[in-house]
Amino acid sequence: MIFRKAKLAILESVLDNGADLAPGRSLFQDAVARLKRNKAAVASLIMLVLLVVFAIAGPWFIPHNYEDPDWAAFRTPPSLDGGHWFGTDQNGRDLLARTLFGTRVSLLVALIATVVSVVIGVSYGAIAGYVGGRVDQAMMRFVDIMYALPYILFVILLMVIFGRNVFLLFAAIGALEWLTMARIVRGQTLSIKQREYIEAARASGLGTTAIIFRHIVPNLVGSVVIYATLTIPEIVVVESFLSYLGFGIQEPLTSLGTLIAEGADVLEVLPWLLWFPASFLVVLLLSLLFIGDGLRDAFDPRDR
């Protein structure tokens, strides 16, 4: 969402010659090789994998769970001997367990929203691009209209309605996030559909739907993955923004955004409640950003 148009500009320029993104094997291998040379991206990828594994598996290895209070330890600072390595919150709950749980939730909502936006955006863009003509014009005009709406106001209104169910809310946010994806996919489709093998498929009597989903969509994977990598951090940020406004996930569940919003209020008196979840968020976002940049650079034949 954040730099939709700008990203679009860059991506389109990248993908202009990106007709080459179509599956020429050597090109793909080139890209992987280039990605491997990008130290920041590789380090980020390792970091991200570690974080995800830790968030998913970690809770089995720590002695506390995210919801039960330790009645003997309210607001205790982090310590190694007390068993609460990240300290506890005002309800006596272990912050490490909550941070790991929150990371899971944040990633999960980001994934939900991204998947929804990818599904809608890819279908919409591919159909518009492949069918072309009046249909294309009308469909893209609709995207233009949606761009002009004050996105965040609608998110807040949605939140007022779906306030209860965060997962539903993020599915809804994903449903608002597909615009840029649709534009990129449409542009790509326009160039792919000129290819001989599409002509061949058409000549062999394959239907429009089959061509779109069997031949066009698989060829869009590169650009979709790049854009999706850049969408995830944006959704994580939106999630934390909504948490700040008091529309976070229902207790006793939590998310990184919720933890940070709560921690920011007590940053002088209970600083650990802020710094641990904030570090997780920063590491998570940085890794995703570097991976996104790395992917883009790897698939961009020009030297950046």
Q: Which residues would be at the binding site for another protein (CB under 8 A)?
A: 2-6, 8-10, 13, 67-69, 71, 74-75, 90-93, 145, 147-153, 156-158, 160-161, 163-164, 233, 237, 240-241, 244-246, 250-252, 257, 260-262, 264-270, 274, 278, 281-282, 285-286, 289, 302-304
For residue 94, give the 3-state DSSP assignment. strand
Structure tokens at 189: 């489709």
User: At a CB cut-off of 8 Å and minimum separation 6, what does 109 contact?
Assistant: 166, 167, 170, 235, 239, 255
Nearest residue (CB) to another protein, 100 versus 274: 274
Contact by Cβ (8 Å): 187, 15: yes
Nearest residue (CB) to another protein, 213 versus 244: 244
Nearest residue (CB) to another protein, 81 versus 303: 303
Nearest residue (CB) to another protein, 143 versus 192: 143
169 vs 189: CA distance, rounded Å: 30
235 vs 60: CA distance, rounded Å: 27
Distance of closest approach, residue 215 Cβ to another protein, in angstroms = 29
Distance of closest approach, residue 266 Cβ to another protein, in angstroms = 5
Which residue reads 């998110």 in tokens? 155
Distance of closest approach, residue 176 Cβ to another protein, in angstroms = 12
With the CA atoms of 154, 160, 166 and 168 taken in that order, what torsion angle do they form, in degrees rounded to the nearest 10? Answer: -60
Distance of closest approach, residue 185 Cβ to another protein, in angstroms = 19
